């Protein structure tokens, strides 16, 4: 369905947002709503309409808006939503109380219309990918099924040539013997449909380790990272299928990082910075987990290097209080035109500001400063501040840069495993010099994507 529902308190705002949506796709059917009661007689009817739409734009100041948002978030459905606010203050207050969701964008009426258009375009792409992948199959390790006595999703066996048969139905009971008979025949993987993958992996991780194993310790009174951030990162990790051992060792390194911070004089300041911006804390933790995962599968793996990467991940954008600035990856005239003077100053200063913070913490391993100073450099030398290229970048900086790039891509297209393989193939093709090829191979192993490339190479060789 190509309907876009726009819930706003005035006809002017309905027309304003409707006009901008139509500039991106004239085929959209715009439906403006000022009264929720007239639109739907029950919550079920309301959600049926919203779920079937292409996009929903909700004005936060509209009476009943909070009810709509609670229903959307509580549904667990990946519904594409833009929440609009009358000003930046209202938007920031909302952000502090909510975890990041890749299917929800926030926009202030006082911001540039370009930002709204960019958010809508991202959500259109997000929905297109999600809808296009609904019938795809995702590979899962067969041993994971030994954890269950009842199937949490439909389980399939691949017969080759993209043919699949269902061997266990959702909620079917089965025995260890039922699974082991396939293992004895040499079967390494079962498959689930992509729209069940997140549920399956979430259940596996919770049964093997429990959610607390993957999240930072909250034993101290400081509670540096908000609980909502922990939960959001846990869901992201589940969605992309990061190797469970990588997650565990990186979680331990992050806990050690927290311990070092809490021994310093910066605890209150850092807690305030992290509580203020959920995007920064979530992004930093995701970079930590991916960088740690890559490191685990390279020759550079050691406890000290893992600590260097997690410490750098935690501090790299900590002084970017503006989310727009935090999302900048390159500096050019186009980017700078979109930033005001305060944002430009923050962009140029945040690298050194983050370094100044981390150097105040005792017990950190040497070399964290080099990773921080290079975290915006690029393989081709187009980054900043020193325009270093792959020949000049050290191994840990290369790991950090690749992890950072992939997290940025996930925030753009959504934390879905289906999005991984095209990106990894592009990285293999692009990053062919210096330390980068080994970093990309480490990333492929951390995401358990080796089989995809083995199958792809096998098909190419047969052709």
CATH code (residue 16):
3.40.50.2300
Residue 93 sits in the same domain as residue 162: no
Task: Answer whether residue 301 shows pLDDT above 90.
Answer: yes
What torsion, rounded to 10 degrees, do the Cα atoms 320, 324, 326, 330 define? -130
Residue with tokens 């809808």: 131
Residue 440 confidence (pLDDT): 96
Residue 458 confidence (pLDDT): 54
Report pLDDT digits (tens) over 73-124: 877 677 899 999 998 888 888 887 776 666 788 988 888 787 888 888 888 8
Question: Is residue 202 in some structural domain?
Answer: no
Question: Is residue 286 in some structural domain?
Answer: yes
Which of 151-160, 266-275, 300-309, 377-386 bottoms out in mean pLDDT, i.e. has the lowest?
Answer: 266-275
Task: Answer whether residue 125 shows pLDDT above 80.
Answer: no
Question: Is residue 316 in some structural domain?
Answer: yes
Q: Mark which of 116, 132, 148 sits at the end of a domain.
A: 132
Percent of the chain with pLDDT over 70: 86
Residue 278 sits in the same domain as residue 311: yes
Cα angle value 347/351/354 (rounded, 5°)? 120
Spatial distance between the Cα atoms of 289 and 294, rounded to a whole number of angstroms: 9
Cα angle value 49/34/7 (rounded, 5°)? 50
| Antiparallel, parallel or unpaired: β 29-33 and 55-59 | unpaired
Residue 329 confidence (pLDDT): 74
Task: Please state the rounded mean pLDDT for residues 247-276.
Answer: 78
Residue with tokens 């962009």: 347
Residue 231 confidence (pLDDT): 61
Going by C-beta distance under 8 Å and a sequence separation of 6 or more, which residues neighbour residue 111?
88
Structure tokens at 166: 């269902």
Residue 377 or residue 260, greater confidence: 377
Residue 305 confidence (pLDDT): 95
Residue 161 sits in the same domain as residue 20: no
Residue 448 confidence (pLDDT): 84
Give me the DSSP letters along 73-129: HHH-----EEEEESSHHHHHHHHHHS---TTEEEEETTS-HHHHHHHHHHHHHHHHH
Residue 142 sits in the same domain as residue 288: no
Tell me how many domains the chain contains: 3
Task: Please state the rounded mean pLDDT for residues 430-447.
Answer: 95
Residue 120 sits in the same domain as residue 142: no
Residue 204 or residue 341, greater confidence: 341
Question: Is residue 95 in some structural domain?
Answer: yes
Task: Answer whether residue 281 shows pLDDT above 50.
Answer: yes
Residue 254 sits in the same domain as residue 376: yes
Residue 443 confidence (pLDDT): 95
Residue 296 sits in the same domain as residue 431: yes
Residue 182 is given by DSSP the state H
CATH code (residue 375):
1.10.3210
Residue 221 confidence (pLDDT): 39
Residue 243 sits in the same domain as residue 159: no
Residue 216 confidence (pLDDT): 43
Q: Mark which of 101, 132, 163 sits at the end of a domain.
A: 132
Q: What Rg, from alpha-carbon coordinates, does the chain have? A: 23
Q: For the chain, what is the mean pLDDT? A: 83
Task: Answer whether residue 328 shows pLDDT above 90.
Answer: no
Q: Tally the C-alpha atoms within 13 A of residue 14's C-alpha that lie toward its C-beta.
A: 16
Residue 267 sits in the same domain as residue 166: no
Question: Is residue 203 in some structural domain?
Answer: no
Question: Is residue 219 in some structural domain?
Answer: yes
Domain that holds residue 89: 3-132
Residue 172 sits in the same domain as residue 278: no
Residue 250 sits in the same domain as residue 318: yes
Task: Please state the rounded mean pLDDT for residues 431-449.
Answer: 94
Q: Is 210 left (phi over 0), alpha (psi -120 to 50) or beta?
A: left
Residue 347 sits in the same domain as residue 227: yes
**Residue 135: enclosing H or E segment and its boundaries?**
none
Report pLDDT digits (tens) over 169-227: 888 899 999 999 999 999 988 998 877 776 787 677 667 655 434 444 444 334 566 65
- pLDDT category, 314, cuts 50, 70, 90? confident
Q: Is 387 left (phi over 0), alpha (psi -120 to 50) or beta?
A: left
- Collapsing DSSP states into helix, strand and coil, what is residue 424? helix
Question: Is residue 172 in some structural domain?
Answer: yes
């Amino acid at each position: 369905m190509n309907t876009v529902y726009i819930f706003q308190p005035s006809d002017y705002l309905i027309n304003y947002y409707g006009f901008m949506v139509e500039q991106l796709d004239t085929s959209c059917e715009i439906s403006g709503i000022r009264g929720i009661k007239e639109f739907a007689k029950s919550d079920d009817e309301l959600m049926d309409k919203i779920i079937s739409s292409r996009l929903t734009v909700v004005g936060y100041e509209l009476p009943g808006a909070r009810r709509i948002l609670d229903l959307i978030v509580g549904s667990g459905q990946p519904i594409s939503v833009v929440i609009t606010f009358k000003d930046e203050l209202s938007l920031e207050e909302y952000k502090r109380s909510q975890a990041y969701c890749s299917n929800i964008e926030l926009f202030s009426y006082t911001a540039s219309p370009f930002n709204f258009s960019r958010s809508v375009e991202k959500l259109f792409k997000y929905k297109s990918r999600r809808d296009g992948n609904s019938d795809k199959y995702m590979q899962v390790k067969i041993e994971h099924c030994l954890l269950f006595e009842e199937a949490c999703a439909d389980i399939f066996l691949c017969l080759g040539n993209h043919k699949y048969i269902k061997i266990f139905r959702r909620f079917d009971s089965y025995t260890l013997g039922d699974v082991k008979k396939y293992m004895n025949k040499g079967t390494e993987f079962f498959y689930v449909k992509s729209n069940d993958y997140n549920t399956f992996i979430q259940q596996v991780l919770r049964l093997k380790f429990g959610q607390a194993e993957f999240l930072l310790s909250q034993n101290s009174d400081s509670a540096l990272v908000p609980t909502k951030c922990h939960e959001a990162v846990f869901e992201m990790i589940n969605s992309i299928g990061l190797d469970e051992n990588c997650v565990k060792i990186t979680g331990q390194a992050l806990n050690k990082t927290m311990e070092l911070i809490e021994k310093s004089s910066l605890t209150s300041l850092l807690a305030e910075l992290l509580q203020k911006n959920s995007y920064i804390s979530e992004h930093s933790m995701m970079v930590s987990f991916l960088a740690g995962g890559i490191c685990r599968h390279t020759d550079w793996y050691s406890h000290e290097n893992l600590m260097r990467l997690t410490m750098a991940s935690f501090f790299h954008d900590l002084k970017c209080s503006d989310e727009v600035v935090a999302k900048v990856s390159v500096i050019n005239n186009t980017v700078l035109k979109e930033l005001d003077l305060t944002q430009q100053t923050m962009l140029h200063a945040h690298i050194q500001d983050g370094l100044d913070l981390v150097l105040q913490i005792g017990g950190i391993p040497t070399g964290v400063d080099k990773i921080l100073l290079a975290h915006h450099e690029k393989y081709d030398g187009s980054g900043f501040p020193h325009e270093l290229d792959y020949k000049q970048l050290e191994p840990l900086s290369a790991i950090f840069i690749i992890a950072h790039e992939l997290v940025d891509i996930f925030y753009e297209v959504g934390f879905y495993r289906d999005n991984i393989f095209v990106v990894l193939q592009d990285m293999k093709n692009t990053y062919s010099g210096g330390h980068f090829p080994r970093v990309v191979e480490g990333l492929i192993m951390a995401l358990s994507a080796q089989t995809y490339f083995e199958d792809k190479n096998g098909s190419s060789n047969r052709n």
